[in-house]
Each structure stands twice: as C-alpha cells, then as structure tokens.
Structure 1
C-alpha cells in the first residue's frame, strides 16, 4: 500500500450496482480513483523498496487455523 484515500460514501451508488449486481461495477472503482489520495511512501522511498524473499512469502502463507474439512 503506497497511498490511501479519505473515507468514501457508497450511498451515492445504487446498491443493486455494487452489492447484488452480477456485472462489474467499474463506476465505483473510478469514483474511488478520482477522490484525493494521500501518499504513504515518497518517490525516493519507493525506489528502494524490494520484493519479498522466499522466507517472507512462506511466512505469509502460514495459517493459524486450518479451514474445516469438507464432509
């Protein structure tokens, strides 16, 4: 995550579009993209970010609780 936005009010959109709609709701995504975002990482900091190594990827895959077995 490199930025965040202010809270976004979904009441301006018909719930049939984004809650129960069967199609994509690109209008909601575009509206979120258009509101102001606040940078968490400067451009200089972003240049020195690195990808996770193998140990970090494995640690991210660990589960505290296993999903229940299907019967």
Structure 2
C-alpha cells in the first residue's frame, strides 16, 4: 500500500520515511498541495528478478476478444 505525505511533512521526517521504505518495500508518494509529485521506491539490485519470477505464470486465452461464459 502506498503512503502519501506532503512535502512539508516529508521534509521534517525524511530519514524516518526512507527507513520505512527500506524496511517495508512500499512506495512513498510525496505531494505538493495534494497533488502527487514524487514517488520514492526501494532500489532493486536486480530488477529483472521480478520478471523472471513471473515468467510462465500468465495464462493465455485462445479467443481473448470473445465474452467469457458463466461456466468459466
């Protein structure tokens, strides 16, 4: 779950928020007057690892543009 904080709140507690992102791995959204302007995410040493973990897990549909029946 993303956490949203204002610029002023982030400025006052930046290190605390950095530690939270590191610990939980959850993104942090920084806002300016209620509008999102920055997103802080944890650094991934190997960003391809997430893709490798998902490979082969996606289902393929023979007729993707036809409606799905009730029995599906």
Asked whether the two chains share a fold, i.e. TM above 0.5, the reply is no
Higher relative contact order (CA 8 A, sep 6+): 1
TM-score (norm. length: structure 1): 0.26
Higher helix share goes to which structure? 1
Higher strand share goes to which structure? 2
TM-score (norm. length: structure 2): 0.25
